[in-house]
Amino acid sequence: MAEILVLGAGLNGLVTAMLLAQDGHSVTILERDQAAPGDDAENVWQRWQRPGVNQFRQLHFMLPRWRALMQHELQAVLDQVIAFGGTRVNVFDELPPDLTGGRRDGDDRFDTVTARRPILEAAAAAVAQRTHGVSIRRGVTVTGLLTGRSLVGAAPHVTGVVVDGGAVLRAELVVDATGRRSPIAAMIESAGGRRPHEEREDSGFVYYARHFRSPDGSRPAALGTLLQHFDSLSILTLPCDNDTWGVGFITSARDKQLRGLRDTSAWQAALKLYPTAAHWGEAEPITDVQVIAGIEDRYHRFVVDGEPVVTGLVAVGDAWACTNPSLGRGASIGMLHACALRDLLRDVSPDQPEKLVRRFDEITESTVTPLYRMTLAFDRHRLNEIAADVTGQTYRTSDAGWAMTKALYAAALRDPDVLRGYASVMSMLSTPQEVLAAPGMAGKVLTLGANAPQYPTPGPNRAELLSAIVG
């Protein structure tokens, strides 16, 4: 059993620490932000400050894949989310019966438990705090890596970290879970190593979101899927905790004409134009319009040209790779990644540092990198489609995969079987290839969706949208 440092007390860091501690490791979590969450959901939402997380009060939704993993691995976290007011949701039960064909056997796989980000993190922190083998130290900033004798060429071998004030904390393994803003690549370079391979670009999206509270405990009826696509933008309508929900417009960062959505009146006027989403804005708002932009797609690899750039250190979740969060996959990918690390440490101990880094790279590339690539491909096509909308053109591409993605979305709104396949993909329960391989599914998708309108859900054209925003 190893002494392990986990950097970052976000959701992925907390989950990773708990999984490792359950296997007998001694885990210390180091978190830069000073404040602890507390145990009251409303205070957590109103008062808990996490300046290290720029999307802390933005929209969040936990996919059924995340719920299934948590139910198997960390049931106590789900229980704590519910104790803090989290919501049990089945994405099929939310939709109209004429769309779903009614409840079927197997639909319970679409069950999830969800909440706003601060409540989710507070719940995980509460469970981690009482998990044997886990210690959380807040207000500790890691300033550098402690290294020993290199074991693989010029790659630094990490034996701990240096924190603010110059103190040294030693460990047999350091796990970077510091998220989108991870400084580890620069720290490896400062320690004399090569930078990890990095792919980095602006995702190109901007979010304009608000949260609302129910006056009577009810929740708006879902008249369409949680993520709906329209001319020039997409809309998220997400159940949260404690009778709250979130609504967000997702636009291109280059679309200057839609920046008026920052204004509350313009935001509300625009939402009213969308019949399947307008009623989600007819309640008590608990936030003004919250904007998040400058979201980066980032991917790191710690084995470059066949050689590790560092040993004694691995990265999980968003610290390894992150994308535009509109598909809601970050927490599920992070949980899969954490489980992969836990399982690897059952076979390869930290006193085999080169083998550990190489094997974790192999496992990462085979299990979670394909999910990252699939998400990135979707985002790039969607951004190009929006760019075409802005200029009044129809997006054309030779990528047959995008054509099938569009057909699957359109056909899902017309057939209950396809809808379940589409929901399975969006819930990260199946890949598109697995869904389309089902007998008769590909043919049905092409028949119902190939010649469907570009945007099958009713909504305004661009001129109408711009008029509402300006007006």
| Contact indicator for 176, 309 with CB cutoff of 8 Å | no
- CA dihedral of 71, 72, 75, 77, whole degrees rounded to 10: -80
Confidence category of residue 259, pLDDT binned at 50, 70, 90: very high
User: What local confidence, expressed as pLDDT, does residue 59 receive?
Assistant: 93
Instruction: Quick: pLDDT tens for 126-142.
Output: 999 999 999 999 999 99
Q: What is the 3-state secondary structure (H, E, C) of 420-463?
A: HHHHHHHCCCCCHHHHHCCCCHHHHHHHHHCCCCCCCCCCCCHH
Instruction: Quick: pLDDT tens for 362-414.
Output: 999 999 999 999 999 999 999 999 999 999 999 999 999 999 999 999 999 99
Please state the length of the chain. Answer: 471
What is the side-by-side strand order in the sheet with 142-152?
142-152, 155-163, 168-170
* The pLDDT of residue 294 is above 80: yes
Nearest Cα to 320, choosing from 346, 298, 340, 296? 298
- Ordered alpha helix ranges (H), 23-116: 41-47, 64-73, 75-83, 97-100
Distances in Å between the Cα of 287 and the Cα atoms of 43, 57, 83, 214, 264 are: 15, 10, 23, 13, 10
**How far is the C-alpha of 452 from the C-alpha of 379, rounded, in Å?**
21
Mean pLDDT for 348-361 is 97
Tokens of 214: 């129910």
Angle of helix 75-83 versus helix 64-73 axis, rounded to 10: 120
**How far is the C-alpha of 332 from the C-alpha of 427, rounded, in Å?**
9
* The pLDDT of residue 228 is above 80: yes
Tokens 């790659």 map to which residue? 155
**How far is the C-alpha of 72 from the C-alpha of 68, rounded, in Å?**
6
Tokens 């103190």 map to which residue? 167
Instruction: Quick: pLDDT tens for 188-206.
Output: 999 999 999 999 988 899 9
E strand map for 85-232: 87-90, 111-114, 134-138, 142-152, 155-163, 168-170, 173-176, 197-202, 205-213, 227-230
Instruction: Quick: pLDDT tens for 69-108.
Output: 999 999 999 999 999 999 999 988 889 999 999 999 999 9
Helix (H) or strand (E) holding 299: strand 296-301
**How far is the C-alpha of 188 from the C-alpha of 156, rounded, in Å?**
7
Tokens of 104: 């079927």
321 forms beta bridges with: 299
CA 87 to chain centre: 18
Tokens 């997400």 map to which residue? 238
The DSSP annotation for 87-111 comes to: EEEETTTTS-HHHH-S--TTGGGGE
| Contact indicator for 201, 297 with CB cutoff of 8 Å | yes
- CB contact set of 264 (below 8 Å; sequence gap of 6+): 210, 285, 288, 289
The whole-model pTM stands at 0.95
Mean pLDDT for 49-74 is 93
- CA dihedral of 345, 318, 237, 291, whole degrees rounded to 10: 160
CA 384 to chain centre: 22
